[in-house]
Amino acid sequence: MSGEQRVALVTGANRGIGAAAAGQLARLGYAVVLGARGPTQAEQAAAALDPGSGRLLPLRLDVTDQGEVDAARRRVEAELGRIDALVNN
């Protein structure tokens, strides 16, 4: 895994603890998937982070909907290869 960017998925990344966790993970060099119930919320969460933070992937993700969870996993794996860390907020 040396030299590869680690990938973190953060649910509820648009505010509070989720936003703080996403920001810290980005500063640590992770590619961060910012999950939020609405696509606008996810985009706003990504825009609020430092643009130099690294790879950010805003994603609509309602964790109460298993279909959305499965689709999110498939998209993250397709675009970023894997998920190394999960923050379920």
Write out pLDDT tens, residues 49-78: 876 767 999 999 999 999 999 999 999 999
CATH number at residue 69: 3.40.50.720
Task: Tell me the whole-structure pTM to 2 decimals.
Answer: 0.90
Residue 2, domain member (yes or no): no
Using a 10 angstrom Cβ sphere, with 0-12 exposed, 13-18 middle and 19 or more buried, the burial of residue 8 is buried
Residue 22, domain member (yes or no): yes
Domain span holding position 77? 7-87
Q: Across residues 4-19, what is the average pLDDT?
A: 95
Residue 53, domain member (yes or no): yes
Residue 42, domain member (yes or no): yes
Per the document, the length of the chain is: 89
Residue 1, domain member (yes or no): no
Number of domains in the chain: 1
CA dihedral 3, 76, 41, 18 (to 10 degrees): -60
- Whole-number Å distance between alpha carbons of 79 and 24: 21
More confident position, 1 or 25: 25
